[in-house]
Structure formats: structure tokens, C-alpha cells
Structure 1
Amino acid sequence: MKFDKVTVLGVGLIGASFALAIRKEGLCRHIAGTGRSEQNLAKARDLGIIDSYNLDPSASCIDSELIFLSTPVGTFEDLIKKCSTSFRKGAIVTDAGSVKGSLVYKIEGLLPSHVRYIGGHPIAGSDRSGIDSSNAGLFRDALCIITPTEKSDAEALQVVTDMWKSLGSKVLQMEPETHDRVYGAVSHLPHVIAFMLMNTVHDIDPSYLEFSGQGFKDLTRIASSSPELWRDICLLNKENLVPMLSLFQKHLELFRKYLNDSDSLSIEREFAEARKLRDGIGQN
């Protein structure tokens, strides 16, 4: 499996790391990039991350066999609409979006019949963004979720699966709706909590943040993530996120009751159960 031309729509941390990875593995002859900042794209070209760039995403996609979407998920539909007439016959579109669900079906509906789409979500990244944080090994030993539907082309599914395996990822398939429930719980909810925890401590007293220890820094590391990116993720997965936030609030209210009642046994029980669950991650 080798592509003559790949287009990366969004040359940030994920897009640049993807370009570096497929180049390192010899999977592509030419990598084209597009994005909002010509300065960033020129830097990516000069660093050898991409071979060429165009500020017009449609022009960048001409003759590409593989198109990789790595912009904020809220931009996916507009990008597909802009680029669909430029996609060559048989081209494969895939992505790194953290939300699937209804978005997968919308993209399928927007694409011409001669273009194949396979949804993807590499579980890799950083709280930092931009090409300066990119690296070719970002996806190695990482999980990558593929979300095919009944309309998915079998050959395209195999190509995308093999590609991620070539980059060192462990590939699993999920239904788009299942993906959003799972990652709503283990990714989207924790990000919201980290963002809101930072704002809460600030509201208590901004000066307290200067006394942060490693525990607080570890817990809130993901609050350094892109606000634009996470805005789109939360809005597109609000169907799952809203009830999950309600359940989290229920746990907080229960804990507040234990504190008000000085119920030390219940507090310790809650902590012990959480510790047991945390220690069990990855043990199965």
C-alpha cells in the first residue's frame, strides 16, 4: 500500500504528525497540505513535513488518493462541501475527529458516489498544539478507532486499517454511536471537568493557582488543549455529554452531602472504590 499523493486538511499537531508518520514509513510520494495560515504551511513545507501547500483546500485535494481531515470537527462539513468537486474518482477520505456519531453519516451523504469515506479516530495527541509539537511516532502503540457503516466500501476500509497498522497503531472497529458514548465518558467529560476546574479555582482566588502542586497540574493538564477544538467536540456530542454531566453532578452532590454530614465511612468508601477502579485500568 502506497499513495502517490495524500492531502492533509489541517496541518497542526495531528495533521503534521500524520504527514511525518506516513513519510517515515514510505507510504506516500507527495504530501500536500492546507490550512488557514500560510505562515504555518510554509514552515511545514520548509521543515519537510509536507511537500506543497495551497490555501484553497479544494485545489490541494486535486489528484489525491487519500484525504486526511485533521481540522476541528466543526469544520468537516464545510470542508467536504468545498472540496467534493475536486476529489478524484476512487479517492478515500478519512479523518482524526474525536466525534463520530451523526457526523459520519452527514459526511457520507455529502460525498460524491465515486468517493469513499472511512471515519477514524487515533487516540493520540497532546495538550499542546501546532507543528512544533508534532512527531512521526505519535501514533505508534496508540489505539485507533475506525467507525465504518453499512455504506462503507470494503476495500477502502482495508486500506485505512492497513495504513494505521503501518503507523504502529492498534486498530479497533466501533459503530459511530458507540464511539461517541465511549469517548464522551473517557475523553470529552474529563476535558470539560478540567476546563471547569481551572475556572472554579480562579473564581475562588486567582492567586491560588500560583501554589499549584504536581497533582493539580496533572489533573488539569488537558485544560491546555485547544478551546476551538473542544468547543466543536462538546457541541457535536452534547447528546451524550449532557446526561454524563448530570450523572457527574449527582456524584458531586452526594459527596457534598457526605461532607455536610461528616460521614467519614461513606467518604472513604467512595475514595476506595475510585482507587480500585483507577488501579484496574489496563489490567484486563
Structure 2
Amino acid sequence: MAAGLPEFGKVVVFGTGLIGGSFALGLKEAGAVEEVVGFGRTPATLRSAQELGVIDRAGINPAHEIGDADIVLVATPVAQMPEIFSRIAPYLGPKTIVTDGGSTKGDVVAAARAAFGERVAQFVPAHPIAGAENSGPAAARWDLYQGKKVVVTPLPENPDDALDHVKRAWAQCGADIYELTPEMHDRVFAAVSHLPHLLSFALVHDLAVRPDADLFFTFAASGFRDFTRIAASHPEMWRDICLANRDALLGELDSYRAQLDELRAALAADDGSRLEEIFGIARQARRNWAG
């Protein structure tokens, strides 16, 4: 790379909303990219992304954009990724690196292997841990990844330079980079991300379908707001995540149900000591995590 030039030439982003759009804006803010080309499901979304400066122009045909791209980020709901991988696979240039922003990795890796075949070494899976309940190009922020974690889950086939390419891109956005295997990633995030979303959706749904739902929401305060904030997240995206990581999530849900059963038994038995013991362990763990 010549002195003074951006680290990346063309970056192509499929999905110009919160995740993909913030990636584009982060690279732009760092002066690390020459051009960002966006693909999306509707012309209106792409027009909005261009008007907001998220992308420089909208892509029309992957055949014209992928071959000379340095990085292709697929930042759509995970269920859409297999089709996108298949669309772009024939046009990969020899130096094009594909990555993703999906919240599950086992299914995404399987889709990439099916689509890219012998060229799967050019796919480096990743997951930025910086979501929010808002979506669309207007939700994109240049600083979304500042100080946030991005988990890269490299494949055995990935050469060091491809892995470094993806790490450098996220680092330019201000992220702290971590590595996990795809299997460990899905196990961890079933517990600390996917299960909390499932529980939050379940609680809000339970109240929302009651005949006197308005009464409950009228008196809901900060505790309810904090616990249920993530229930405002994108339903389609979280449907796909839950189904994609179904096995690990079912295991975590069973474990949580056992915990609820223990709490119910203690409550039914008027066992304040056991309730306090459980609450105390949880409180200390939460305080330790929060620093």
C-alpha cells in the first residue's frame, strides 16, 4: 500500500443498516476505504443509505462489483446469507475476502462451504458484538464499534493474510478483536445473547396478549424497561438467529427452565434462605462482570 492511500480500496456491503452501515461509516471515518458499494433489498433503502453517506453508490449487479473488491461484508439476517453467498461466489476475485456480521456461525460456515467450495479460504467469519434495537441506514453510526468486541471465527483453510485483512478492517472501525472457533462461538452466544433475547420477547409477549395489557404497561418502570429493551429488536433477524442456533439455544433454555423450577420450589416452600443464596451469587457475579 502506497503512503497516504486508504488501506482498503473497494468495500462491498450487503445490508446497509445498523451493522453493515456502521462498518462502512467506521471505515470512512478512519479514512481507511476509497469506495463503499451497497446492495440491499429495496431501492428506497439504498437511496437512503447513499443520501446519508453510508455508501458511495448502490450496486446493481454483483458480477460488476465483486471481482475487484477488497472486502465483501454480508450484514443481512443469517437466513439470507446462503442465497447471497451463492450469488457472489462465481465473481470472487483472487484477492477478494468475504466476511459476515451474523450472530451465529455454524450455519453461516456451512452455507459458505456449500457456496464457495474450494474457495472457502476466502471467507473469514466474524460477529460484531454491538447490536441495538434500531435498524435501517438511519441507525448506522460511525462509532458503533468503538471499544466493542468483534469475534472472528477463522476456518482451518483461512491463510494468515486473509484473517489479518478482516481483523484490520474491524480494528479500523475501533473494535477489539477476539477469536473463537465457530462451535464455541455458538455455544457462548446461545447463553449470553440469544437466550436473553428469547426471554425478553417472551415476557413482553406474555403481557401484550393479556386483556388488560395496557394496565401493566402503564405501571412498568425502569426495571421492566432495562430487562425488555432488547424485545424492541428486529423480529426477522432474531427469528433467524434462534432457528440457526436452535440446538445450543434449546440446551440453554432447558438449563434456564431448571433454574426457574428451583426458584419456584424455593418460593413455594417459603425458603427465603435459598432465594437469598441464589440472589447473592447472581448479584456478585453481575458486579464482578460489570467491573
Kindly tell me: are residues 55 and 259 of structure 1, through their superposed partners in 2, closer, same or farther at Cα, counting changes over 3 Å?
Answer: farther
Corresponding pairs, count: 283
Give the C-alpha shift of residue 58 in structure 1.
5.0
1:83 aligns with 2:85: no
One-letter identity of the residue aligned with 1:224: A
Between the aligned residues of both structures, percent identity stands at 35
Cα RMSD after superposing both structures: 1.6
Q: Deviations over 1:99-145 (max 9, x none)?
A: 01242143134215456010111111211111212110000100110
Structure 1 counterpart of 2:148 = 142
Q: Is the 8 A contact 1:35 1:55 kept in 2?
A: no
Residue correspondence of structure 1 range 218-237 to structure 2 within 5 A:
218-237=226-245
Q: Structure 1: how far apart are the matches of 2:107 and 2:290?
A: 30
Q: Structure 2: how far apart are the matches of 1:59 and 1:232?
A: 29
Structure 2 counterpart of 1:272 = 280
Give the C-alpha shift of residue 282 in structure 1.
4.5
Q: Structure 1: how far apart are the matches of 2:65 and 2:198?
A: 34
Structure 1 counterpart of 2:266 = 258
State which drifts further: 234-243 or 270-279: 270-279
Structure 2 counterpart of 1:100 = 105
One-letter identity of the residue aligned with 2:235: P
SS in 2 for 1:122: strand
Q: Is the 8 A contact 2:52 2:137 kept in 1?
A: no
Q: Is the 8 A contact 1:102 1:176 kept in 2?
A: no
Structure 2 counterpart of 1:44 = 49
Give the C-alpha shift of residue 60 in structure 1.
4.4
Give the C-alpha shift of residue 87 in structure 1.
2.0
Residue correspondence of structure 1 range 192-211 to structure 2 within 5 A:
192-204=198-210, 205-207=212-214, 208-211=216-219
Structure 2 counterpart of 1:133 = 139
Q: Is the 8 A contact 1:142 1:170 kept in 2?
A: yes
Residue correspondence of structure 1 range 48-197 to structure 2 within 5 A:
48-57=53-62, 59-111=64-116, 113-114=118-119, 116-197=122-203
Kindly tell me: are residues 57 and 194 of structure 1, through their superposed partners in 2, closer, same or farther at Cα, counting changes over 3 Å?
Answer: farther
SS in 2 for 1:127: coil
Kindly tell me: are residues 60 and 209 of structure 1, through their superposed partners in 2, closer, same or farther at Cα, counting changes over 3 Å?
Answer: farther
Q: Is the 8 A contact 1:5 1:29 kept in 2?
A: yes
Q: Is the 8 A contact 1:8 1:69 kept in 2?
A: yes
SS in 1 for 2:54: coil
Q: Structure 1: how far apart are the matches of 2:63 and 2:218?
A: 47
SS in 1 for 2:41: coil
Q: Structure 2: how far apart are the matches of 1:282 and 1:217?
A: 19
Give the C-alpha shift of residue 61 in structure 1.
3.0
SS in 1 for 2:125: strand
1:11 aligns with 2:16: yes
Length-normalised TM-score, structure 2: 0.92
Kindly tell me: are residues 244 and 112 of structure 1, through their superposed partners in 2, closer, same or farther at Cα, counting changes over 3 Å?
Answer: closer
Q: Is the 8 A contact 1:57 1:79 kept in 2?
A: no
Q: Deviations over 1:37-77 (max 9, x none)?
A: 21111111122211111354555435212100100011111
Structure 1 runs not aligned, ≥5 long: none
Q: Is the 8 A contact 1:181 1:240 kept in 2?
A: yes
Q: Is the 8 A contact 1:13 1:131 kept in 2?
A: yes
Q: Structure 2: how far apart are the matches of 1:60 and 1:209?
A: 49
Q: Is the 8 A contact 2:26 2:172 kept in 1?
A: no
One-letter identity of the residue aligned with 1:162: R
One-letter identity of the residue aligned with 2:200: A
Q: Is the 8 A contact 1:11 1:41 kept in 2?
A: yes
Q: Is the 8 A contact 2:85 2:111 kept in 1?
A: no
